[in-house]
Structure 1
Amino acid sequence: MRIKMCSLHVKDPAAAHAFYTGTLRFDTLMAVPEYNLYIIKDPATPENGTGGGSVGLLLEPSDNPIGANYMNALYDAGLPAIVFGVPDVRAEYDRLINAGVVFRGEPAEDPSGVSAVFNDGCGNYVQLHQD
């Protein structure tokens, strides 16, 4: 058994797709704009051409009240909706700051490792964690 897909509720799937593929550099697994359907995946790696097993991340419209309540409650509590692993949090922080991404603070280290949290502009906080 493996994880095939999970979802992240967003305010605007098309805008989220543009941010996640353009700024965060994920790859598009599927885009069907006429159905407001956008699925991204880890970027392809040069070694094998696949993105971490190609687990899909559905950029889920938050037009369902249950999804919207969940997304808004996480955001209001300041909790990240998802965690992405990166090899170097400080380098990714610098790259994203230069791209205009707003972080809640500078990278910090604790017993679990180095991490930083940013606002995706689509209704979520996202945590970067050093692999």
Structure 2
Amino acid sequence: MKIQLSSVLVSDQEKALQFYTHILGFVKHMDLPMGEARWLTVVSPEGPQDIQLVLEPNFNPAGATYQKALFDQGIPATAFAVSDIEAEHQRLVQQGVTFKLPPTHTGGPVIAVLDDTCGNYIQIYQV
């Protein structure tokens, strides 16, 4: 058994695709029509291509409620590893990304939390 797909709910798939590819640096992997939405995945250029992140539309009222509750409480929807959090923070700030939490030492990993502009906080961390 292995993790191959994980998803993050997004308010707008196209806006999310632009943010996750042009700003965060992921690469579009799959983009297939699925009725009103798309099966839309991105992968890391630094990792295996079979581990995909689904940019999942939040059409379902339960999903939208869950996403909003996490956001309102400041809870990240997911987390991504980085090798140099200070450099990544600076790169993203220069591209206009808003951070809820700048790089912060936790006694373990260093973490930062950013707004993905699609209804989520995303944590980045460096171990």
TM-score, reference length from structure 1: 0.89
1:97 correspondence with 2:93? yes
Show structure 2 runs of 5+ residues with no match. none
Matched with 1:117 is 113
Identify which of 75, 81, 85 aligns with 2:77.
81
SS in 2 for 1:19: helix
1:68 correspondence with 2:64? yes
- Alignment partners' CA distance in 1, 2:87 and 2:50: 24
Which residue type is aligned with residue 5 of structure 1? L
| Deviation at residue 33 of structure 1 after TM alignment | 5.5
- Alignment partners' CA distance in 2, 1:40 and 1:54: 10
Percent identical among aligned pairs is 41
| Deviation at residue 53 of structure 1 after TM alignment | 5.0
- 5 Å matches for 1:4-83? 4-32=4-32, 35-43=37-45, 45=46, 51-52=47-48, 54-83=50-79
TM-score, reference length from structure 2: 0.92
| Deviation at residue 39 of structure 1 after TM alignment | 0.5
